[in-house]
Amino acid sequence: MSFSVRPARTSDVPVIQALVEPLVQQRILLGKDAVVFYEAIQEFRIAEGADGTPIGCGALHVMWQDLAEVRTLAVTPEWLHRGVGHALLEQLETDARELGLSRLFCLTFEVPFFSRHGFEPMTEEPIDPAVYAELVRSPDEGVAEFLDLARVKPNTLGNTRMIKNI
C-alpha cells in the first residue's frame, strides 16, 4: 500500500482533529481547539493513502533561530508500523533544514520511535541566558515544555523531552 505526504490545507483541520482525538483520549497528546489548528495549518503535513484518504499528520513549530518542535505526530491505527510516521518525520526534518534550523525538539511518550530517528533524551544543558529570557516570554506551551517550566508539568507527566541535531 502506498501513501504520500503533502502540505496541509485548511480543509484538513477536521481530519487533523479526528486523527488526534483518540490520542487525546488516551492522554498521549494534548487536545487543542480548532482555532489553534487553523492558526498553525502552515506547520502541518498530511500523509494520505493512494486513494487520498488522510492517514496521518505532523507539524513543525519554529521556536527559535535554530530550534523547532515536532508536534502532533499522529497515524491512524490501521497504518501504524508501515512507515507513515517515519515519512512524516522525515518531511518535517526536511522542512526544518530548509528553514535553516539545526535542532528539533519533541515531548513524547514514543521514546523508541524518536530514538530510532536520532532523537536523544534531553539533559539539563544550560540555555544561553539571553535566549532563555526571550523564550520564557512566549505564551506557547511547547516552548514552556522545552524549558521544562513548572506550569506545564501536570500536562507533561510521563513524557520525555527529546532533542536531535540535524
Looking at residue 154, what is its pLDDT?
53
Q: Label residue 38 by pLDDT band (50, 70, 90).
A: very high
Statement: residue 139 has pLDDT above 80: no
Mean pLDDT of all residues in 98-105: 96
The structure's pTM equals 0.87
What value does the mean pLDDT of the chain take?
90
Encode pLDDT of 121-135 as tens digits: 988 765 777 777 777
93 versus 107: the higher-pLDDT residue is: 93
For residue 108, report the phi and psi dihedrals to the nearest 5 degrees: -150, 155
User: What ranges make up the beta strands (E) of 42-122?
Assistant: 44-49, 54-64, 67-75, 103-108, 120-121
28 versus 101: the higher-pLDDT residue is: 101
